[in-house]
Structure 1
Amino acid sequence: MSEDLGSFKQLIKEHCGLQLEGLAEDRLRKALLAAATTAGVKHLKDFLNLLRKDDDLVKELITHLTVNETYFFRENGQIELLVEQLLPRLFRLYGQKRPLRILSAGCSSGEEPYSLVIALQETWGQASSRLFQVEGGDLDRRILQKAQRGIYSPFSFRGVPESLRKAYFQPEGSHFQLNPAIRSRVSFHELNLLAPEFPAHLKDYDVIFFRNVSIYFDMETRQTILQKLYSLLRPEGIVVVGSSETLANDLGVFKLVEEKGYYYFVKGEALLPPDSVKLSRQTRVKPIQASIPAESKKPPQVVPRSQPASSEQAANPAPKLEEIRQLIIQQETDLASRQLDLLLSKNTKQQEALLLKAWILGNKREFVKAEALVEEYLQAEPWSADANFLKGLLFKWQNKWKEAISAFRKVVYIQPDSWPAHFYLAEACRYDQQKDSAFRAYKSVQRLLSSASEVATGLKLLPLEVPRSDLLFLTEHQLLRLRQGLTTSHQGRE
């Protein structure tokens, strides 16, 4: 069964918008072979004809293609903004005659809508069950069943204080199950955002969370989906996307606003914050990624997910570092972590693996372990831009702004043109109220990214994919705000 995958990719894209390129092709091929075998079909061409006739079979295939990487209270600052600012604004507009409706579109295994319910419960208490109606929708039927069971591994709690986990979850073997009272507060629906029509009850939402979903769609598909989300909202409504997806969804369907350092989209005028700044991009720059070795252009051959990481792996050659890096980019962090352990056990001189392991640990908020690995690497390579940059990120993620500033400044010293280092230095200075220093660092970012030529990141290893156009936009926005603040401050001292 070696037929071309193009027809399958087109069928799936037309059905639900998923883009299956690069490493995703390998996942598609494995899913097709398994599904065709189950259906008793020997040739993919025959299976393609079967898929075209059976919509349920397509839906079942898609359950093996989606990436369901999420956790509780992901990007919690957005949830805090919702609870503290946006929902009170909606109550002032509509009153409390009806519950406010919130949809988590692309809810995966349920961590996001359950996080919303817990946040509402923490703020409004028992009244929250009357004041709010929370729903979750996803394309993947199987993952919705998991969401309804509400049983999660410890990995899902990397953004949750232990006290909160103990208050709302009960141990279930090595996992934890959400309390029935909270589970009952979320209604789950099968939801294809490209469906020609939605069920009648899926409408009149006040807030839609559409986070970390649009990364799987091209611009045309995103435009179509945003228009559908627009139709699902009431005349005055809000859409929240992942912070890294903000500008990719600024396609003219909604108004993009910034409030307290966070970005979201608004339908209508009444929900605009009092001091909102109109945001628009006048310059669009071609996004670039962190420089990676040329060999990364080849599709990596990785150990299949189903293969145990045991003595069978030990008999095989150690995986290549770039293959592992690509796994991390594809959010296959568990497999990447196992392969890093295998690589380090086979080759103690492969010190770069320490940084990738630290990257994974840092994203899991295991900061002590991550910092130890970074320091071990820096003992051998004290002038590594990647190691010092990761050190700065670990401090930033813990709100240790002065330590982060020191680390990012060292990266700038090592790689003067590293625009990600200048940007995060500016961010850390801004949060530490060092406004003059933040202004200068943002100006450096603006200078570097306004260049007609593509400027290298100065980083060789870390799986940091920062859209150049997004950073330039955010930089110019912060420069405007800082310039206004500095002018007022300087006038006050005169």
Structure 2
Amino acid sequence: MASTPTSDTQTSQEPRLNQWLKQFFIRLIAEQTGLEIKPHDQEALDQKILFRTHVLQLCCPENYYQLLESQTIESRQEWQNLIALLTNSESFFFRDQGQFNLLKDHIFPELIQQKQTTKTLRICSAGCSTGEEPYSLAILLKQLIPDLDQWDLLILGIDINSVSLEKAKAGIYRPWSFRKVDPETKQQYFQRIKEMYHIHPDIKQMLRFQTVNLVNDEFPRLHSELREMDLIICRNVFIYFETAAITRVLEKFYHTLQPLGYLLTGHAELYGQDAQKFETKVFSDAIIYQRPAVAPSLLSALEAQRTPSESNCKNLDASPKSEGKIIETDIQLCENTPVRSSQRPDSKAFHTAVRNQNTSALLTEKELLRRAEMLARKKAYNLAIQQIEKVFELNSKNSYSHYLMAQIYNYLNDYEQSICYCQKALAIDVFFISPYYLMAEIYEKQGDLAVAKQMLKKIIYLELVLLRLT
């Protein structure tokens, strides 16, 4: 087929992926699953594709691509095999104690009180992997609801990886899954058999599991269990998704929640996303999103009554997409653009540069930054860095350019350099919130949750300060 991507062939006739074929696979995977294959993961992707090509005894990777692209039963089965290789099934019980404290002390008591009349509660754990999260939710609810046997309770665990879901249904875990669990809880809700821990049947029967592709499957649906949810938890999922996929899933989640239902994501996963339909609630250790009781059109009308910002710079919101994605902004100057108060610190970042440059130099900076963003979106990171360094030569006090550099180094997995440039941006503009989000994201990826939470607390403080100033 003329339109089929091709691979290079070594002299030994052993197939390997060339860059064009690899990009075809990356695009297909993103369209099918929402997963974004980052530069440092692409070599591993090569090996996984070649492995599946060999297992299926196909002559070349092009044939494997055609199999995945076809709409057949064999294709659907093979996607499950590939997804099992692409997704991370690492999880453990009561992961992120701060968020579980939020559920225990605030969200669950509120929902339980609201549902006392109907005694119905519907919860979804999206991207539940091998089941540790939904089982943790079941244990927590059993502790909070004395008459649980009188409730119509649904805890639905969903994941794209059917292999992980089979492990979740089995409910058997290694000791490593309990590294955040106190001995009393482990003893009360699990039975040890040899070196493995089996979840007690009364907890196990509280859950249901379902294979769901968040990006491509249609939901909510009338005759599906994935509807009218009081709480959706989707943590450490969006960090692997492309921006467009996150947008699609957020829209589905909104309609899957009941009015006043909650969405809980990983720290900073939605910063830079359009979550305006939700109301954001800020707590000391976490942020949660709530579907409002009133229609979005009414919220929009109220939003339109806000006083326009004095900022005249649009779309330079220096806001990181999930997992340090490069911002797709069109840098331009315009007059009288209303800006929400939560955007004010990012606008201020660019105005700092504006005040320190004459008109000619400003246009040069603007063009260089536009080029840098364009190159970064095309993954030409070295060229993007060169453009930003030219901005530094013109104006070393442009905080946004330092932040853009931080995003690029984060994307390249150079976290030390990324944090360094975040700190440089903050040294120029103390009200610039985006670098704090990026640093929180990095520290969380590195497993330093304490420092990540410190970053989030600083964000909360700055948001409150800026709200008082508006």
Q: So what's the TM-score if we normalise by structure 2?
A: 0.61
Following the alignment from structure 1 to structure 2, what is the Cα–Cα distance between the partners of residues 203 and 239?
Answer: 13
- Deviation string, structure 1 residues 45-64 (Cα, Å, up to 9, x no partner): 01111111222222221111
Counterpart AA for 1:166: Q
Following the alignment from structure 1 to structure 2, what is the Cα–Cα distance between the partners of residues 215 and 20?
Answer: 11
Residue 44 (structure 1) aligns with = 61
Following the alignment from structure 1 to structure 2, what is the Cα–Cα distance between the partners of residues 127 and 262?
Answer: 27
SS at structure 1 position matched to 2:165: helix
**Which of the numbers 478, 486, 491 marks the counterpart of 2:461?**
478
CA contact (8 A) 1:207 1:233 kept: yes
**CA offset at residue 172 of structure 1?**
2.7
- Deviation string, structure 1 residues 217-261 (Cα, Å, up to 9, x no partner): 122221111001112111221100112424254532422111344
**CA offset at residue 37 of structure 1?**
1.5
Following the alignment from structure 1 to structure 2, what is the Cα–Cα distance between the partners of residues 63 and 258?
Answer: 35
* Residue 19 (structure 2) pairs with residue 2 (structure 1): no
SS at structure 2 position matched to 1:237: strand
Q: How many residues align?
A: 330
Q: Which moved more, 1:77-86 or 1:141-150?
A: 77-86
Residue 291 (structure 2) aligns with = 267
**CA offset at residue 126 of structure 1?**
5.0
- Deviation string, structure 1 residues 377-427 (Cα, Å, up to 9, x no partner): xxxxxxxx9xxx9xxxxxxxxxxxxxxxxxxxxxxxxx9x9959xxxxxxx
Residue 194 (structure 2) aligns with = 173
Following the alignment from structure 1 to structure 2, what is the Cα–Cα distance between the partners of residues 281 and 483?
Answer: 10
Following the alignment from structure 1 to structure 2, what is the Cα–Cα distance between the partners of residues 183 and 135?
Answer: 12
SS at structure 2 position matched to 1:165: helix
Counterpart AA for 2:22: L
SS at structure 2 position matched to 1:113: helix
**CA offset at residue 81 of structure 1?**
2.0
- In structure 1, the gaps of 5 or more residues are 271-277, 287-296, 299-325, 331-384, 390-414, 421-443, 486-494
**CA offset at residue 27 of structure 1?**
2.9
* Residue 170 (structure 2) pairs with residue 156 (structure 1): no
SS at structure 1 position matched to 2:85: coil
Following the alignment from structure 1 to structure 2, what is the Cα–Cα distance between the partners of residues 453 and 233?
Answer: 31
Residue 207 (structure 1) aligns with = 231
Cα distance 1:281–1:450, how it changes in 2: closer, same or farther (>3 A)? closer
- In structure 2, the gaps of 5 or more residues are 1-14, 295-339, 351-380, 383-409
Cα distance 1:65–1:92, how it changes in 2: closer, same or farther (>3 A)? same
Following the alignment from structure 2 to structure 1, what is the Cα–Cα distance between the partners of residues 150 and 271?
Answer: 34
Following the alignment from structure 1 to structure 2, what is the Cα–Cα distance between the partners of residues 246 and 478?
Answer: 18
Following the alignment from structure 1 to structure 2, what is the Cα–Cα distance between the partners of residues 279 and 130?
Answer: 42
Following the alignment from structure 1 to structure 2, what is the Cα–Cα distance between the partners of residues 265 and 245?
Answer: 12
* Residue 266 (structure 2) pairs with residue 242 (structure 1): yes
Residue 254 (structure 2) aligns with = 230
SS at structure 2 position matched to 1:137: strand
Following the alignment from structure 1 to structure 2, what is the Cα–Cα distance between the partners of residues 247 and 462?
Answer: 15
**CA offset at residue 450 of structure 1?**
3.9
Cα distance 1:91–1:465, how it changes in 2: closer, same or farther (>3 A)? closer
Residue 408 (structure 1) aligns with = none
Following the alignment from structure 1 to structure 2, what is the Cα–Cα distance between the partners of residues 80 and 472?
Answer: 18
Counterpart AA for 1:169: F
Q: So what's the TM-score if we normalise by structure 1?
A: 0.58
* Residue 90 (structure 2) pairs with residue 69 (structure 1): yes
**CA offset at residue 146 of structure 1?**
0.5
CA contact (8 A) 2:282 2:460 kept: no
Following the alignment from structure 1 to structure 2, what is the Cα–Cα distance between the partners of residues 208 and 452?
Answer: 26
Cα distance 1:136–1:196, how it changes in 2: closer, same or farther (>3 A)? closer
Of all paired residues, the percent bearing the same amino acid is 26
Residue 164 (structure 2) aligns with = 143
* Residue 51 (structure 2) pairs with residue 28 (structure 1): no
Residue 405 (structure 2) aligns with = none
**CA offset at residue 212 of structure 1?**
0.8
**Which of the numbers 283, 299, 304 marks the counterpart of 2:345?**
283
**Which of the numbers 131, 136, 141 marks the counterpart of 1:110?**
131
- Deviation string, structure 1 residues 118-172 (Cα, Å, up to 9, x no partner): 0111122451672531110000000000011111111111111011111111113
CA contact (8 A) 1:236 1:269 kept: yes
Cα distance 1:462–1:128, how it changes in 2: closer, same or farther (>3 A)? closer
Cα distance 1:472–1:113, how it changes in 2: closer, same or farther (>3 A)? closer
Following the alignment from structure 1 to structure 2, what is the Cα–Cα distance between the partners of residues 213 and 89?
Answer: 26
CA contact (8 A) 1:153 1:176 kept: yes
* Residue 215 (structure 2) pairs with residue 194 (structure 1): yes
Residue 251 (structure 1) aligns with = 275
**CA offset at residue 475 of structure 1?**
2.6
CA contact (8 A) 1:107 1:113 kept: yes
CA contact (8 A) 1:150 1:183 kept: yes
**Which of the numbers 102, 126, 130 marks the counterpart of 1:81?**
102
Following the alignment from structure 1 to structure 2, what is the Cα–Cα distance between the partners of residues 445 and 86?
Answer: 37
Counterpart AA for 1:475: K
